[in-house]
Structure 1
Amino acid sequence: MSRITTAYLLTCAAIGVAGGVLLAVANWVSTALFAAVPFFSVATAGLWLLPAVIALRLLQRPFAGLLVGLISGLVIVPFSGYGFASVATNLWWAFFAELPFLIVLYRYWRTWQHYAGAIVVSIVYPLLAAASFGLETMPLGVQVGFFAIMVASTLGATALGILIADRLRAAGVARLARRRRPKVVAARD
């Protein structure tokens, strides 16, 4: 990884704080939905991917998603009923946003990789949280609906994150913090 600059750290901090503010509200909405209608609380799950997707798309630097996940988790701690478990939760979600880039050792930065991370987490999360939602007691059609809502949530949040990052890039935001591509020098004849 190239050197870590102040611009990179400040950009990650700004995205992390903005994401933390969004997730503090989403956390309470999700908790209320889980208490009332647990099945539909999963519709907000994709929001936990949003800050990491924005950071990875905008900066195209290794571990930007995890750093933003850490920062947004720390922002949520005082506003969450879950305390420091919010940090672990945000890092967990950020890991899946980061995973497709990690697998190729950060050599490629393609749009489909963001969506691949969203698909993976939309499969893993319901399997790990099945007992919390009581998925095993639900009819098959309801289970399929649960997975469909999860996929729609993660893909929708990923698409939104890509859109936001692309608009920020077009506006010139974080130009100094982005990954620098090596310059190709033309060979002289």
Structure 2
Amino acid sequence: MSRVSTAYLLTCAALGVAGGLLLAPANWVSTALFATVPFASVAIAGLWILPAVIALRLLQRPMAGLLTGVIAGLVIAPFSGYGFYSVLTNAWWSFFPEALFLVVLWRFWTLWQHYAGAVAVGVVYPIAAAASFDLWSMSPVAIVGFFALTIASCVAATALGILIADRLRHAGVAASVRRRRPTTGG
């Protein structure tokens, strides 16, 4: 992308604000679940990738997912108990949907890349958060269930994000900002 247009930035901002409005209550629900039933808190983990998936699918532009995720983090920072860490958390979650497009330098925009990003974060998150959940002290069946629940949550959120972005695209949202070249595989 040779230049960043105002329309691109405003579209990412609008998606980020909408994502932040979704994630603000989800953040409190996740915190409550973690305190009471930690295992169940990963059932909603996929919500954190939703804004990035929507932005990437809708705009098909470099860094749309990360920018949208950071904006969503800025929106929820004052309302979460974590402050600026919310921005870092959202940037972390948004990296994974973006990563599979980054690997090919944003030349290809296929459906499988979205789902591969979801599976990647669904595998990496339990490993990264293993100490918080005391994951390695669980039974092997519980560990597999934990990974499966996290992956399922991320894949479901990705499917929802693709559906929302496709509906927005069909409605003509961000038509002037969207990538012009044809996509491959969906």
Partner of 1:109: 109
Q: Which residue of 2 aligns with 1:176?
A: 176
How do 1:70-81 and structure 2 match up within 5 A?
A: 70-81=70-81
Cα distance, 1:178 vs structure 2: 0.9
Distance in 1 of aligned mates of 2:2 and 2:14: 21
- The residue that corresponds to 2:92 in the other structure is 92
- 1:143 is aligned to 143
What amino acid is aligned across from residue 19 of structure 1 in structure 2?
A: G
CA distance in 1, matches of 2:159, 2:176: 24
Equivalent residue of 1:178, what SS?
A: coil
Aligned to 1:38: 38
Amino acid at match of 1:133: F
Tell me if 1:165 matches 2:165.
yes
User: Normalised by the size of structure 1, how large is the TM-score?
Assistant: 0.95
Partner Cα separation in structure 2 for residue 62 and residue 79 of structure 1? 29
Alpha-carbon separation, structure 1, partners of 2:2 and 2:51: 22
Q: Deviations over 1:37-92 (max 9, x none)?
A: 00000011000000000000000000000100110000011100000000000000
CA deviation profile, 1:114-163 (whole Å, cap 9, x unmatched): 00000111111000101100111111111111111001100000000000
Q: Which has the larger radius of gyration?
A: 1
| Cα distance in 1 between the residues matched to 2:11 and 2:3 | 15
Aligned-pair distance for 1:179? 1.8
Identify the residue that residue 12 of structure 1 maps to in structure 2. 12
Runs of 4+ in 1 over 4 A off after TM superposition: none
- Deviation, structure 1 residue 2: 3.2
Q: Supply the distance in 1 between the matched residues of 2:64 and 2:136 (Cα, whole angstroms).
A: 36
**Percent identity over the alignment?**
73
The separation in 2 between residues aligned to 1:49 and 1:120, in whole angstroms, is 12
Kindly report the root-mean-square deviation, in angstroms, between the aligned alpha carbons of the 2 structures: 0.9
Gaps of at least 5 residues in structure 2 are none
TM (norm. structure 2) is: 0.96
Post-superposition CA distance 1:154-179 (Å, at most 9, x none): 00000000000000000000001112
SS in 2 for 1:62: coil
- CA positional deviation for 1:180: 2.7
